[in-house]
Structure 1
């Protein structure tokens, strides 16, 4: 949550909620302003004349409802959940009518509603309760959450006739779930409307969009709603197509932030009005107001795309968990890998595991070979240090001989994104701005492009190392483009395709080709890949990140799941030492074991999800003011603050960050005291902004 810049609203310590008493004026002045006279003579609504309004102001000390009088002319249109305009601290601001009552505790005269922007009840009580719960969990304000939950209004769309409700589909065939222990039992609970929580570990090669569509169709067949949230648009397309096949096109709505304002609002309204039962989308769909929800699903909850980058920074998994608990609906976390947060749900007993037995797993998984195994080293002494050893070439040739493509996963994009001195290994920096140098690749006027700065883009044509004076450069890491170029020379006659930041492929044909991609951009091959080469494992495992091992395993398993089973010749070559726990989890295809190990280590170290944490970032003075005004729970502990980023001319840090840690049972108390501390700063008209985030993904 980031406090706003000073506004005129801060001029009053307590905003008036009543109109000022009209001053006595001469008759002539009254005649010249008939509008003010008529406004002062408004009559209150005959029933429930008091409206509780949530004003759209992101100041923590104003995060509550304010009472206003409903005029008689707005009695019919001022319905709970509608958008309104009110006079607040002398300004007209937007707001939402939460409820109407007969009485108020405010002792002075109430101000009237200015107007009803739209009588469409876009904030029903169930959605308001969810948004309020999310704001409290993440120490945010209701105003910030409503900006994420409600799309901007489009007046023309509201005037369109409402769509007819889609008919309930037939119950789908769910025999494919019998491959998993407790799979059919979970769908039985969904069909019967019973609350059931599960963590699903999908088998390699599983048609997971179809399985999720079957779960959603099971809920829709009973007249209940379902919300399926996936990380990106490629996954969304696959799940949406599968749901249309089972539920019908009219019964499914795809919600994604990239839609135009009119189409996005049109689809959202169809969900709100009950015309659509199944919603699929990216994180923008986690607040979808489905009627009578029966199932909430998040796929691949470890993907950082599920964390909203806007205050108060909610995570899709946690929002859907709250919604499932509040509505007594089923909740499913699915993926090929497993996060420590999902493992905590299993170990606490809140969720059950849905996974296949070992025999089923061995039949579906590819053969995984770490580079550096004893028999590989015996055949090839350079296997320990080679970027692409002989065993990787052998796996790729076998895939091509079988008429299948081979997948190559490279952690870094670009050509050569990192350079250092060729003699002393000192990182190479730009002489102009001290940014890192990189090779952009390609040619210019027939000659290779010179190194250039990744920050300012200025070419470096005369590099000289400031430490040893050498003019030679060497690559620190090799990007996807350079890898594709090298593999093209190593496998002449085999097409090379790339999938990355500039162009992400959704699918590739099932014929011999080298598909070079960055993590998360792996296209689906028709019939599966014959081999997957996971290069530069050190670049993923060596990151300074609490979740480095967990994230590495997730990316490796996402690529390995696209490979054919070992019985069909499928192989995965991973460029990392076999003795590492993350490599062992990949070899055995056992993400649950790795997640339990990861969770146990975090318990010992006191890191999330075993604890709850709050991150406070800002200037040193701002961070100190929050910490000084923070009454911690008994288990509370402050780590830091530590400097971030740049330093000023006197050597002082311009920004700092402090971490506040408490035991997990005190998580709600931590959110409350942090929110109250920020509210007191806003009430004191503090100018310097502070960024507060609960349970941040990045701790290092």
Structure 2
């Protein structure tokens, strides 16, 4: 028999058998999964055995279905990691099915979700619902069928204008962190269109990042800012390398964006969920106007987008830019700690702000009008050549209604909220619950006639229309959103936050109703109002004039000098003395009195100052069970991990207990304790 007929040498056979044995030893046999469940007692990794048929497809990041022994049912889950050895001596359950072979949970997003949930005493699966959209088969098929041989066009790294040479560039390249004071006037793009100064800066920083084939994540509060940012980014970066993550997208669009961001370096832009966008080699996280209430997540575990960005920056080593005109006390604290670098524009052209409360008394009683004569004349002159912006506090026609006979404030019969008018002559409706009050009768005198008090956007527009005959009047509010106006003469009446952009900016801006804005109760009223004024003032053109009507004191001084960080510094100093956030962290505990008291007792000496409460929770809508109380616990940042773990353990203990019903049946009791950490307004009435 010849050598060829004798078969392979014995040594080769032994080597092949040995290699196969090594491969079998390295083959993953255990999958550690996180269940898609909001139950806090299930918030941990579970081990399952991987069947041989799923060895190739069951990889980290894929969706799977697994059995739950205790519930005798199937549950959705994500594979977090796979192991080649089983340390558990018993028999493991087997993964039932791999739902899709496309990984959708990136390792860095899992680490982020775990850290965010632990920091907020929450459940990781609640965070993952924000980060990963439901499965979309069409998007996955298109992703698998994509042409991977396409070479993306290179991106040139532009210089970042309006700042000292090399300062912002150094931060972006070297993983720096900065509180960025935004440029306070519109800037022109290469196509002669205009965007806000902050949008230009973020776009240039993103272009420098992706030029090095690193991803950038840019986060803005709402759709107006997102549209402006997208125009700025696409002027520096090809559109195919820009992906959106926003609330208006369908699940299919979100899934497509997620898969693209996880496979190549892109610029991810969007609202608060964009902070969870996967990224290949994340290089930059930039956030605009972190004080905007839109960044407060309304779903558990209620983590502020700024806090998620801080955690992700610490994990990834990416650069961080927190841009704003008026700095929040949270950012000011990080600046004073040295964690953020204070970066300001070079030779900034700031708006010319005129506080009318500091005008001379020469105008007499006219100085106390809703629009002083000096502001009126400036608006009249500016409206002949272009648009003029008038910011008001409230939408609708009248902010309130009173009885025409006795002057009693008109309130809703259903919830006790104030009544108002959306349009002149319209039916009264509640500003809280929206109920109509068609046949309203005054409970004091029985009168049926109501008269408006206060000026909403529509009433202000009507008055200005009579004062400026022949001038175009534009109303922009939540019900009539307008992104931009043209350069034609107009009076633009806008509610706070709804101010449309104008080409080159407004020649004149009037900020009305400041006293009413400041009259609202809350811990952050002053910094919120200052932020609202500053954002509207930044809509002015170079050389434009801004009139701050009826406001004096330190806020007016800060606006006039455009040193908007000074009030944040002073406010933070006051809060340190009072142990108020953000000088300390807070935890709001809501539930039955015994559950809240037990949770406070479990914290021991980790708290700062006396515990506030517990006090009964007032709920006019009837959605809170009777006997519910609330307590506020303050604690230092150094004890954050300890406090969050203790409170979560209390929530798990309360959620997993069972009570005996008549007849001997045992049923899991309804949760009697809810925990919320770092509430933006912890002292607001529930």
TM-score (norm 2): 0.87
Q: Which residue of 2 aligns with 1:395?
A: 378
Q: Which residue of 2 aligns with 1:336?
A: 325
Counterpart-to-counterpart distance in 2, 1:431 and 1:498: 31
Q: Give the Å deviation of 1:534.
A: 1.0
Q: Give the Å deviation of 1:106.
A: 3.2
Q: Give the Å deviation of 1:432.
A: 6.3
- Report whether the alignment pairs 1:678 with 2:651: yes
Please, which of 43, 48, 55 is the counterpart of residue 28 of structure 2?
A: 48
Counterpart-to-counterpart distance in 1, 2:567 and 2:526: 9
What pairs up with 1:549-698 in 2 under 5 angstroms? 549-566=526-543, 570-579=544-553, 581-620=554-593, 622-633=595-606, 635=608, 637-646=610-619, 654-684=627-657, 685-688=668-671, 690-698=673-681
Q: Which residue of 2 aligns with 1:169?
A: 154
Q: Give the Å deviation of 1:370.
A: 1.7
Counterpart-to-counterpart distance in 2, 1:414 and 1:634: 45
SS of the residue 2:617 aligns to: strand
Structure 1 residues 249 and 333: alpha-carbon distance in aligned structure 2, compared to 1, 3 A threshold: same
Structure 1 residues 414 and 620: alpha-carbon distance in aligned structure 2, compared to 1, 3 A threshold: farther
Counterpart-to-counterpart distance in 2, 1:494 and 1:456: 33
The answer to whether the Cα contact below 8 Å between 1:190 and 1:330 also exists between their aligned partners in 2 is: yes
Segment drifting more, 152-161 vs 681-690: 681-690
Structure 1 residues 69 and 637: alpha-carbon distance in aligned structure 2, compared to 1, 3 A threshold: farther
Q: Which residue of 2 aligns with 1:494?
A: 471
What pairs up with 1:249-328 in 2 under 5 angstroms? 249-274=239-264, 276-328=265-317
Counterpart-to-counterpart distance in 2, 1:450 and 1:328: 56
Counterpart-to-counterpart distance in 1, 2:218 and 2:652: 35
Q: Give the Å deviation of 1:437.
A: 2.1
Q: Give the Å deviation of 1:238.
A: 1.7
Counterpart-to-counterpart distance in 2, 1:124 and 1:621: 41
The answer to whether the Cα contact below 8 Å between 1:505 and 1:523 also exists between their aligned partners in 2 is: yes
Post-superposition, which runs of at least 4 consecutive aligned residues in structure 1 deviate over 6 A? 468-472
Q: Which residue of 1 aligns with 2:355?
A: 370
Counterpart-to-counterpart distance in 2, 1:351 and 1:180: 17
The answer to whether the Cα contact below 8 Å between 2:158 and 2:208 also exists between their aligned partners in 1 is: no
TM-score (norm 1): 0.86
Q: Which residue of 2 aligns with 1:417?
A: 399
Counterpart-to-counterpart distance in 2, 1:535 and 1:490: 16
* 1:16-58 per-position Cα deviation (integer Å, ceiling 9, x unaligned): xxxxxxxxxxxxxxxxxxxxxxxxxxxx998231211111121
Counterpart-to-counterpart distance in 2, 1:586 and 1:660: 35
Counterpart-to-counterpart distance in 1, 2:567 and 2:352: 19
The answer to whether the Cα contact below 8 Å between 1:149 and 1:284 also exists between their aligned partners in 2 is: yes
The answer to whether the Cα contact below 8 Å between 1:622 and 1:690 also exists between their aligned partners in 2 is: yes
The answer to whether the Cα contact below 8 Å between 1:422 and 1:470 also exists between their aligned partners in 2 is: yes
The answer to whether the Cα contact below 8 Å between 1:510 and 1:528 also exists between their aligned partners in 2 is: no
Structure 1 residues 476 and 449: alpha-carbon distance in aligned structure 2, compared to 1, 3 A threshold: closer
- Report whether the alignment pairs 1:356 with 2:345: yes
- Report whether the alignment pairs 1:159 with 2:144: no
Counterpart-to-counterpart distance in 1, 2:352 and 2:104: 52
Counterpart-to-counterpart distance in 2, 1:617 and 1:166: 55
Q: Give the Å deviation of 1:618.
A: 3.4
SS of the residue 1:591 aligns to: coil
Segment drifting more, 202-211 vs 264-273: 202-211
SS of the residue 1:167 aligns to: coil
SS of the residue 2:541 aligns to: coil
SS of the residue 1:510 aligns to: coil
Q: Give the Å deviation of 1:461.
A: 4.7
Please, which of 67, 90, 97 is the counterpart of residue 47 of structure 2?
A: 67
* 1:459-504 per-position Cα deviation (integer Å, ceiling 9, x unaligned): 35564351x6777655443211111111111111111001111121
Q: Which residue of 1 aligns with 2:209?
A: 219
Counterpart-to-counterpart distance in 2, 1:696 and 1:514: 38
Unaligned runs of 5+ in 2: 1-23, 187-196, 658-667
* 1:353-396 per-position Cα deviation (integer Å, ceiling 9, x unaligned): 11035xx23xx223212222241x32232423x21221221121
- Report whether the alignment pairs 1:233 with 2:223: yes
The answer to whether the Cα contact below 8 Å between 1:168 and 1:223 also exists between their aligned partners in 2 is: no
* 1:282-302 per-position Cα deviation (integer Å, ceiling 9, x unaligned): 112111111001111111101
Counterpart-to-counterpart distance in 2, 1:95 and 1:679: 20
Q: Which residue of 2 aligns with 1:379?
A: 363
RMSD: 2.4
Counterpart-to-counterpart distance in 2, 1:169 and 1:425: 68
* 1:385-440 per-position Cα deviation (integer Å, ceiling 9, x unaligned): x2122122112112123x02111111111111312345765422245664422233
Q: Give the Å deviation of 1:605.
A: 1.4
* 1:313-359 per-position Cα deviation (integer Å, ceiling 9, x unaligned): 122211112112211111100011111111111111111111035xx
Q: Which residue of 2 aligns with 1:530?
A: 507
Counterpart-to-counterpart distance in 1, 2:570 and 2:319: 27
SS of the residue 2:376 aligns to: helix
SS of the residue 1:216 aligns to: helix
Counterpart-to-counterpart distance in 1, 2:568 and 2:453: 31
Q: Give the Å deviation of 1:251.
A: 1.1
Q: Which residue of 2 aligns with 1:107?
A: 89
SS of the residue 1:234 aligns to: helix
* 1:221-266 per-position Cα deviation (integer Å, ceiling 9, x unaligned): 1111110011111211221222222120111111112211222211
